[in-house]
Amino acid sequence: NAGVTQTPKFRILKIGQSMTLQCTQDMNHNYMYWYRQDPGMGLKLIYYSVGAGITDKGEVPNGYNVSRSTTEDFPLRLELAAPSQTSVYFCASSYGTTGNPYTFGSGTRLTVV
Amino acid sequence: SQELEQSPQSLIVQEGKNLTINCTSSKTLYGLYWYKQKYGEGLIFLMMLQKGGEEKSHEKITAKLDEKKQQSSLHITASQPSHAGIYLCGRLSGGGADGLTFGKGTHLIIQP
């Protein structure tokens, strides 16, 4: 199994540019999540989804958008990149809320200059 | 304030020594997860604890959950270079679907 696959691994954006971070899982998990990790700050939840067609905001959603058209895919969209969005982004998935581990992707390191 | 406090923030241990990392929650623990992250990589699931008093082990790593103290500890016995990395604890957010809330992590360095 591939697990959770994130692309790209690295990206440099100019201020004001837009991009989509891709996330795909092949475990048939209903729940998917996007986190960002900043140095010394741990992981912060951006958006999450409990199934296809359903998304909700997490702790730090400003500047981001998501969609969930299929069970497998959960892309994260940055419309107008800002230096504050320089971070490492992780996608995760799970079968459900309790009793199940969350599987993480290997991350996308984004720099906005 | 941080919902999950990890201590210490960083730890340098000589190879072969034992060590303990603590994770304390300011809210009721419905489930506590431990992950390891190698520098520049993703998170690797270690263990999940759900019940007070629960203890789980995997190879040389043991985790315990003290529900009354709202605290979990991660103990590594006879540390090895492969144990180096960032250890993160995460708690379920009240049984809802909104994922895990994480501590800031403990950076572990193993000195030969």
Q: What tens digit of pLDDT does each residue of A49-83 get?
A: 999 999 999 999 999 999 999 999 999 999 999 99
Instruction: Report in angstroms the alpha-carbon separations of A42 from A21, A87, A113, B57, B100.
Output: 20, 11, 23, 24, 11
Q: How far is A14 from chain B (nearest CA, A)?
A: 22
Q: Determine which of A41, A102, A106 to mutate to test the interface with B (most B C-beta atoms within 10 Å).
A: A102
Range of the domain at B54: 4-111
User: Which of B4, B42, B104 lies nearest to residue A107, judging by beta carbons?
Assistant: B42
Range of the domain at A90: 4-112
Q: What tens digit of pLDDT does each residue of A83-102 get?
A: 999 999 999 999 876 678 89
Say yes or no: A45 contacts chain B, CB-CB below 8 A.
Answer: yes
Q: How far is B51 from chain A (nearest CA, A)?
A: 11
- CATH value at residue B100: 2.60.40.10
Number of domains in chain B: 1
* pLDDT band with cut points at 50, 70 and 90 for residue B39: confident
Number of domains in chain A: 1
Q: What number is the average pLDDT over the span B75-92?
A: 95
Give CA–CA dist B89/A65, Å, rounded: 27
pLDDT of residue B95: 55
- CATH value at residue A26: 2.60.40.10
